[in-house]
Amino acid sequence: MKRLWAPWRMSYIRQALDGENKGECVLCKIGKALPEKDEENLVLARGKHVFVVLNRFPYCNGHLMVTPYEHTSDLADLSDEMMVEMMRYTQRSIQTLKRTGNPDGFNVGANFGRVAGAGIETHLHYHVVPRWSGDTNFMPVLTDAKVLSQALEETWRELLEHWK
The residues that are catalytic are 125
User: Contact, 108 vs 80, CB < 8 A?
Assistant: no
Euclidean distance between CA atoms 9 and 69, whole angstroms: 25
Residue 53, beta-bridge partner list: 43, 65
Mention every residue, 6+ apart, whose C-beta is less than 8 A from residue 115: none
Euclidean distance between CA atoms 154 and 130, whole angstroms: 16
Euclidean distance between CA atoms 21 and 7, whole angstroms: 22
Euclidean distance between CA atoms 55 and 152, whole angstroms: 9
Euclidean distance between CA atoms 97 and 140, whole angstroms: 23
